Structure 1
Amino acid sequence: MKKQLLIYGSGRHTVPFINYMAQLTGKQKPNVCFLPTASGDDVEYINRFYEVCNQLEVNPHVIRVWINSYDQKETFEELIDKMDVIVVGGGNTLNMLAIWKAQGIDVALKKAYENGTIMGGGSAGSLCWTNGGTTDSRPTELSIVKGLSFINKSHCPHYNSEKSRRPLYHKNILEGNLTDGYACDDRSAIHFINEEVEKSISLDKENHSYYVYLKGEKIVEERIPNEILP
């Protein structure tokens, strides 16, 4: 079964990125599901997802975690199993992963991914799929968080929009705190198939994706050629 992921730099919903994931399913009107766990199921964020999906040929769904047994009659695994695309939003990566583990959502996502469900997201929603990266989920400063390792590489979102991200990412790779990995500007994304880079896509010519690794004692930053989405 083909395993596919799309990670992008910003957690903001965009029509082109969600449409790209929807088209990967090969279905006329796929079930596209938003997991807003990292934002605490923020209502405005959820509304923006529906606004974007209203412009596309998709069936939009949202899986909230701030619920009780009276609100929801299906398990998280049952809900996830029905989806063709899972989109994870931005916010607090550390809290999101802790909730997913407590609820068994991490296991359900892994099962769905291996069964061909398209996974994706930006910011916390891109970092979570990798083996780790820097996050603002803790007080006072950016720190390292471990992800689900669907992609066994590190990741840095917001590469061009937050000044501290790039130098800190380089520093952590240099010091061995993070493995080699991939960085995405806010409006750029990387499509993986079976954990290998298929292509980089961007919303404009100014945003890019990169493979960042250590060569000898120096950091190498290779820009991945972009396909600009219409």
Structure 2
Amino acid sequence: MPAEQPTILATSGGFRAGHRTMLEFGGLVRFAVDLAGVQGRKPRLLHVGTANGDQRHFNAHITEAGQLAGWEVSHLNLFTMPPTDDVPGFVLEHDVVWVGGGSVANLLAVWQVHGLGAVMRRAWEAGVVLGGVSAGSICWHVGGTTDSFGPELRVVDNGLALLPYGNGVHYDTEAARRPAVHEAVAAGTLPLTYCTDDGAGLLYRGTELVEAVSERGSGGAYVVRRDESSGTAQEDSLDIRRL
């Protein structure tokens, strides 16, 4: 059963170290699956690892985490080629699409070559829950700040723009993130921008932010907007629900 309306969970988290496995799905991925409302069968999660080059060893860890959770997990590998001629149909077979972290600039370039933007929009409109971490968060927005090009953060502004906002990730654990977002918003390079500390996520229904959540006991979420009178960026904390 698809989500009742287009749904995106954009995060700075989702995985945790496992007890007997390399990793397990954390509260944010589990929340994404809950949002899909699956009943009477195993949830179907599609992992997309484009941003880290579709590393097969990491895919294996994700598959193992899915077995532990009792879900069916598949992978949309684009290196060296897609797994099927019918990529839209393959994506639409799933309840949740979870996009991993890495290089958002490379992800967007590869997705453009394969026409994934239109596929993801179709899935979103059909009620497949879209989610992800870091690069897998920024990609759904207009853009955000990234280290895709080197240690000095730069702005990407060619995101899929399913959400008409900027996005900032790892806000509390990487010191350069907050000032880079503020600079971009103040300059008008990014529009109104929503940001997450590690472990936090932003739930959108349609294009409206409906709540911020966190799989941790600390950390928050924020909105950064441009003050037109002063030409500076203004930041406010968002209410956040602990999962």
The TM-score with structure 1 as length reference comes to 0.92
Answer yes or no: is 1:226 the counterpart of 2:226: no
What is the CA–CA distance in structure 2 between the aligned matches of 1:62 and 1:45, rounded to whole Å? 11
In the alignment, which residue of structure 1 is the partner of 2:19? none
How big is the alpha-carbon RMSD for the aligned residues of Structure 1 and Structure 2? 1.7
User: Structure 2: which amino acid aligns with 1:104?
Assistant: G
Letter in 1 for 2:50: T
Q: Deviations over 1:141-175 (max 9, x none)?
A: 21111211011000110101110010111011111
| Stretches (4+) displaced over 3 A | 10-14
Amino acid at match of 2:108: L
- Partner residue, 2:35: 24
Match of 1:56 among 49, 69, 73: 69
Aligned to 1:144: 155
Q: Which structure 2 residues correspond to residues 128-207 of structure 1 after superposition, within 5 A?
A: 128-139=139-150, 141-146=152-157, 147-207=159-219
Question: 1 CA distance for matches of 2:84 and 2:188?
Answer: 45
Aligned residues between the structures: 227
- Which of 12-21 and 152-161 deviates more? 12-21
How far, CA to CA, are the matches of 1:213 and 1:108 in structure 2?
30
Aligned counterpart, 2:55 = 42
Contact 1:11–1:125 under 8 Å retained in 2: no
Residue of structure 2 in register with 1:5 after alignment: 8
> What are the Cα deviations for residues 100-147 of structure 1, in whole angstroms up to 9, with x where unaligned?
111111111111111111001011000000001111111352111121
Write the distance in 1 (CA, Å) between the matches of 2:74 and 2:65.
Answer: 12
Q: Which whole-Å deviations, capped at 9, do the CAs of 1:10-37 have from their partners, x for residues lacking one?
A: 4746321111111111113221100000
Alpha-carbon shift at residue 219 of structure 1 (Å) = 2.5
Say which is worse superposed, 118-127 or 172-181, in terms of deviation. Answer: 172-181
Structure 1 counterpart of 2:103, from 82, 89, 92: 92
Which runs of 5 or more residues in structure 1 are unaligned? none
8 Å contact from structure 2 (residues 52, 100) kept in 1: yes
Question: TM-score, with normalisation over the residues of structure 2?
Answer: 0.88
Structure 2 alignment gaps of length 5 or more? 17-24
